[in-house]
Amino acid sequence: MARNPIELDNDTPLIPASTNLPEITIKACVLAILLAVLLGAANAYLALKVGVTIAASIPAAVISMAIFRLFKNSNVLENNLVQTAASAGEGVAGAVTFILPAMIITKFWTSFNFWQTMLICMIGGALGVLFSVPLRRVLLNLSLPFPEGTAIGNILRASAEGGARVKSLIHGAVAGAFVVFCQTGLQIIGSTYSLWFRAKNFLYGTTLGVDAALFGAGYIIGIRPNIAMLLGVILVWVIGLPFLSIYYGIPVNASSPYDAVMTLWSEHIRYIGVGTMLIAGIWTLLSLLKPVVTALFLTKKSMEIVGGESTGKILRTEYDMPMKYVLSGVAVLSVCAYVLLYHVMAHSGLNFSTPKLIFVSFVAVAGLLVFGFFSAVIIGYIVGLIGSTNSPVSGILIINILIMSLVLTPLIHYGVDFTSAAHRQAAIAIILFAVTMIGVAATITSENIQDLKAGRMVGATPWKQQTMMLIGVMVAAVAIAPVLELLFQAYGMGGVFPRPGMNPQQMLPAPQAGLMAALTQGVIAHTLPTGMIIVGVMIGIFGIIIDEILKKRSGMRLAVLAIGLGIYLPPEITTPTILGGFTYFFAQRSLKKKLDIVPEPQRKIEFKRVYDRSILLACGLVAGAALMGVFLAVPFVLKGSSDALKIVGDKFTPIANLIGVFIAVILLGWLYRKGSHYKN
């Protein structure tokens, strides 16, 4: 009788190295391509709306298992390759939407350039896959927990239970899609409930956001990051806003208290969040310096070992992409990056001489390789510790923005008049191009390492996973530009609208890209509001001190980056995320109490079953809502209005907002019940 897959040790492959099963098959490739596009589009929408992304590997694994049940000849290794490629779509979308919309925000682009966006994604993504080859043996042998990679591996092992899992995922997806269709399409459900007031010289209040995707995202993220985010909201939006409105004055052109608050956010508050996230990102790098140096040393040894081995001496489950292909690929991609950057600079309007074009392009590519690999090591290590959902990608990107700005700005500035807005825009674009490739490379490396952890558990062939990741990267690179352009034309991004008369409440704020644009603009033009940034830095330093005290005394942690995010994002985005996180906390506490009477072995099994069910419901809410947001963009663009499907008049808005609050209670109550309900 076969052993229960769940009982197998994580280091014992489900499929032994001596067994060869089909992995890269036609049906696996077709399904992988579809999921890479769909989940990549959904993650792009989520990143533009809230500034975070959700790991797509678990939903992709569950979906592929459900679909492969329709085929007689399928196996767990095919499922593994499908989720590997799907995670590439998610990774590319997440990294690109964190940075590239800054090209729109800074007005360098008026729409997303298809060819340049595609090449950025292909070059950065392929470099990320190649970086993961020598890092696989290093990071997977450092005894890191890889929480999400382990979860994926266990789901694949326990594929016999896929029916119940798919049911929760589908229910969540249908509910999330329905709510967004009624909110954004029919507009019979409100998406916000604002309570902002003006009392003489100051403003106070809050906004409740009603968003199925954010409720689900908050539930998945959990309580600790959301506590930190809540702390940021309280510090600035509850305590600080009244003082800021007195100090700077209430904007005279604001038509409502809400508009006045958003003006203060745009001009002052968000830079406090920038300062907090900046210091948190620097601290993250410093705290990881020792393990990173160790990892780099081990990587060097690993490259020597891999380079000296022949295929006949390596087990199937340890056979990576040959190192000669890796090094050749890095060389080819470096040339491609050089040509792309040279082309962008030559047509940027900066009128560089040919020697200057050659030199600046060379420095930018050198920075891409050095900082890209270094960032890949760091994020890969962090993903091994806490998973990809909570990894501080934004902190790494902030550091890269500052480093590349400091490296490239003096070179670009030499002989160029930076008093010209067009020249500053071009300089910003060059820096953002390079950093976007770095971000995509680092993100794809971390995603691939996580997938390789799951692959080790099920007995996959590493080089086939790496090949499938390349396929996923190429597909996502082709699809992401049209998706971003569609979303931009439908909703607008980061305060920029493609045409007049669009609804500002439906605009995608693109918070991370706005942050990257603000930082780059500030470094180049010396116009950063340093006072607000210093306030944010002080908040970040105070948070770091508290984090260190908590770590030493209780083992708990305070996510300082999340504090910055709570400051930076408007309340309509933070409130549903925080509510989702607290729903997770109370559901888990209730479940643990109910399971106290259950014997220990059975208790762990039941806890995992209920936990997985609720997490998949939350994943479904996120995926369904995000995908519906993408689908609705089509009629909006065709009709030229986000009111294309609206069936009620403006007088219905107060009723729609009340219905939205009622829907919020239902969704949060559903998540709570799914996460706490246990039948004895």
- The DSSP line for 388-455 is STT--HHHHHHHHHHHHHHHHHHHHHTT--TTSHHHHHHHHHHHHHHHHHHHHHHHHHHHHHHHHHHH
Q: Nearest Cα to 88, choosing from 384, 399, 449, 382?
A: 449
Q: Is the pLDDT of residue 458 over 90?
A: no
Instruction: Name the band, by pLDDT with cuts 50, 70 and 90, for residue 312.
Output: very low
The answer on pLDDT for 534 being more than 60 is: yes
Nearest-angstrom CA–CA distance, 678 and 680: 6
Choose among 50, 110, 105: nearest CA to 521: 105
Residue pLDDT, tens place only, 207-263: 888 888 888 878 877 788 788 889 988 988 888 888 888 888 777 776 777 778 777
pLDDT band for position 155 (cuts 50, 70, 90) = low
Residue 640's pLDDT band (cuts 50, 70, 90): low
Looking at every residue in the chain, the average pLDDT score rounds to 79
Range with the lowest mean pLDDT among 26-35, 41-50, 280-289, 659-668?
A: 280-289
Q: In the prediction, which pLDDT does 44 show?
A: 80
What pLDDT sits at residue 574?
Answer: 83
CA–CA distance, 192 with 469 (Å, rounded to integer): 39
Question: Does pLDDT of 334 surpass 90?
Answer: yes
The model's pLDDT over 562-585, given as tens digits with 9 standing for 90+, comes to 788 788 778 887 888 889 989 999
Residue 301: what pLDDT?
A: 54
- Among positive and negative, which fits the CA dihedral 78, 84, 90, 93? negative
Residues 183-213 pLDDT 10s: 888 889 888 887 777 777 778 777 888 888 8
- The pLDDT of 480-490, averaged and rounded, is 85
User: pLDDT confidence of 151, banded at 50, 70, 90?
Assistant: low
**Residue 665: is its pLDDT beyond 90?**
yes
Cβ atoms of 387 and 148 within 8 Å: the answer is: yes
pLDDT for the residue 2: 34
* pLDDT for residue 416: 67
Would you tell me the crossing angle of helices 421-458 and 76-99 to the nearest 10 degrees? Answer: 160
Closest listed residue to residue 570, CA positions, set 203, 221, 232: 232
The total number of residues shown for the chain amounts to: 680
Rounded CA gap, 105 and 516, in Å?
10
Average pLDDT over residues 147-172: 66
288 backbone dihedrals φ, ψ, rounded to 5°: -100, 5
pLDDT band at 293 (very low <50, low <70, confident <90, very high): low
Identify the bridge partners of residue 197 per DSSP, sorted by sequence position.
204
The SS3 call for residue 195 is: strand
Per-residue model confidence (pLDDT) at position 228: 85
Residue with the larger pLDDT of the pair 522 and 438:
438
Say yes or no to pLDDT of 668 above 90: yes
The proportion of the chain whose per-residue pLDDT surpasses 90, expressed as a percent, equals: 9
* Separation of alpha carbons 605 and 194, rounded Å: 43
Which pLDDT score is estimated for 445? Answer: 86
Query: Which residue in 20, 32, 41 sits closest to 60, CA to CA?
Result: 32
H or E stretch including 207? Answer: strand 202-209
